Amino acid sequence: MNRWWPDLSRFRWAPFAVLAFVALWPTVGPAELVLSLGAISGIAILAWSRFRDGTSLISREAWALSTALFFCYWLPELFSAFDAVDRAHAWAEVLVDLRYLPFLWLVAMAVAQGRGRRRVFAGIGVIVLLWSLDASVQAVSGVSLGGPNTSDRLSGVFGAGNLKLGLVLASLSPFAFDLLGRRGGDLGWLLLAFVLGLVILLAGSRASWLSYGIVLAVCGWQRFGRRRLLIYLGAGLVVASALALSFSTQFESRLERTGEVLNGDVDGLDQALSGRISIWRAATGMFLDHPVNGVGVRGFRELYPRYAPPDDPWLSQGQGGALHAHQLLLEVLCETGAIGLLLWLMGAALAIRAWRWALPASRERAAAPALALAVTLFPLNTHLAFYSTFWGGVTLLLAAMYAGALFAIDDEVAAPVPADA
């Protein structure tokens, strides 16, 4: 009977599908194609192995956690679609986002066993290194794989019209530190921290500065302890800032803008936040008017002109208004309401509870995706839109890697030592 079933080892291509998805992020179309094909493959693989040995590909716990985290993301947009501002668009998003569920299963399968997990984590670390090297070349020459830099900050492989480099590198940096931490020693770790930090500074997103700072604090504390970490961070920050100032005049202006918060007034705070206070006020108004299930996913952009003041900078600049709330909690509240926030909090509670009850070895396996997911979702920061195709895909990918690694199939148990050894 077993001869009719394919050898499940044939599905070891799953890690390469995950890496292809990440590597193709700068090119939206091909990345979406990999996501869709991965979703179809995830359904087919699990259905094929359902009555044979389903747990040989993914543990029940990993399947359950990845599924639960998906529904904590997807159900808010479903409930918000019934009376959304733009129902056609909202329902289209609800249906399209269903493909994430089988793709999350595929990702969890990719990291369920030691060989696949090492390939995925190391592969993402290599991608981060290559993108950082490309951005370093752009800082010197003005050109990268993403084309010439015509913006006021480093754009790298993402191109001048898609300024996501800093945030992506900051979110994925735990994988690079995991790779260099095991193979490069202390010197390699410090060199990576410096180069990656310089690139993120020049990429210009202050949200990425905060995210990367958290990663450095956590990884550095574990590796060096508090005292050495403070010395290394202080020296590295001084040198990196000096180099950033020499490479970019815009970096200095961002530092000055950040310093406006010290003025102690609303105008200074708004200047430091790049005019986001008006966006957050509009998001708060939308939530107060639609407290139960929000205005619908991606409905913020439709209603923004109605809630913004006449002299709003996002309208006066000819941009048609802000596209999203620029903050996780406000995005969830205004677009999916209190129901959405409750479901997101349930997802966070499930992820934290799983971590707390996991064995130390399981936590070590899942440390890189756990930290990456934590800094991506860190609530005291500004964010990209989590219900967008790109950043939503990044977040769900990290969630699936976290679930799959935390509840991995234990294929790395040491062989028993012979009695006569």
Residue 45, pLDDT score = 77
Assigned domain for 297 exists: no
Is residue 407 a contact partner of residue 65, using CB atoms and an 8 Å limit?
Answer: yes
Assigned domain for 274 exists: no
pLDDT of 159 > 50? The answer is: yes
Assigned domain for 149 exists: yes
Average pLDDT over residues 247-275: 63
Q: Which residue has the higher pLDDT, 309 or 388?
A: 388
Residues constituting the chain: 421
For residue 294, give the 3-state DSSP assignment. Answer: coil
Q: pLDDT digits over 293-319, tens only?
A: 999 998 998 999 898 887 777 787 656
Assigned domain for 23 exists: yes
Nearest to 262 by CA among 248, 277, 272: 272
Residue 387, pLDDT score = 95
Tell me the residue range of the domain where 187 lies: 8-263+342-406
Average pLDDT over residues 333-337: 96
Greatest mean pLDDT among 49-63, 221-235, 252-266: 221-235
Residue 330, pLDDT score = 96
Prediction pTM value = 0.91
- Kindly indicate the confidence band of residue 277, based on its pLDDT and cuts at 50, 70 and 90: confident
- CA 168, 172, 174: angle at the middle one, nearest 5? 150
Residue 266 CB neighbours (<10 A): 9
Assigned domain for 42 exists: yes
Mean pLDDT lowest among 23-37, 48-62, 80-94: 48-62
Assigned domain for 247 exists: yes
- Kindly indicate the confidence band of residue 124, based on its pLDDT and cuts at 50, 70 and 90: very high
- Kindly indicate the confidence band of residue 4, based on its pLDDT and cuts at 50, 70 and 90: very low
Is residue 232 a contact partner of residue 224, using CB atoms and an 8 Å limit?
Answer: yes
Judged by phi (left if over 0) then psi (alpha if -120 to 50, else beta), residue 249 lies in alpha
Round to whole Å and give the CA distance between 252 and 211. Answer: 20
Handedness of CA 316, 321, 324, 330 (dihedral sign): positive
Quote the mean pLDDT of the chain: 85
Total structural domains within the chain: 1
Residue 265, pLDDT score = 57
Q: Which residue has the higher pLDDT, 37 or 132?
A: 132
- CA 270, 296, 272: angle at the middle one, nearest 5? 10
Handedness of CA 357, 214, 75, 22 (dihedral sign): negative
Residue 398, pLDDT score = 98
Residue 408 sits at φ, ψ, to 5 deg, of: -75, 160
Assigned domain for 270 exists: no
Is residue 106 a contact partner of residue 21, using CB atoms and an 8 Å limit?
Answer: no
Assigned domain for 159 exists: yes
Is residue 169 a contact partner of residue 131, using CB atoms and an 8 Å limit?
Answer: yes
Round to whole Å and give the CA distance between 201 and 68. Answer: 36
